[in-house]
Amino acid sequence: MDTELAGLEQKLATLLADYHRLRAENESLNRELGRALEQNRSLNSRIAAATARLDSLLQQLPESTG
């Protein structure tokens, strides 16, 4: 009986250690995801601004007479 109890205690300790490790990893990944999403929004904004500038420049080009 004591051996079974010791085995269960060891399994529980392992399970709890895995739980804490995975929870910390999940929090880290969530922070990383937040940073990546913010960077994505920033890059999309920069792309939109560059597209607008290019469109403006294209409007200023003279029509080709060929």
The predicted-structure confidence for 4-58, as pLDDT tens digits, reads as follows 999 999 999 999 999 999 999 999 999 999 999 999 999 999 999 999 999 999 9
Q: How far apart are CA 6 and CA 46, in angstroms?
A: 60
Q: Is the pLDDT of residue 64 over 90?
A: no
Residue 32 pLDDT: 98
Residue bearing the bigger pLDDT, 66 or 20: 20
Residue 66 pLDDT: 61
- Return the HEC string of the chain: CHHHHHHHHHHHHHHHHHHHHHHHHHHHHHHHHHHHHHHHHHHHHHHHHHHHHHHHHHHHCCCCCC
Q: How far apart are CA 42 and CA 48, in angstroms?
A: 10
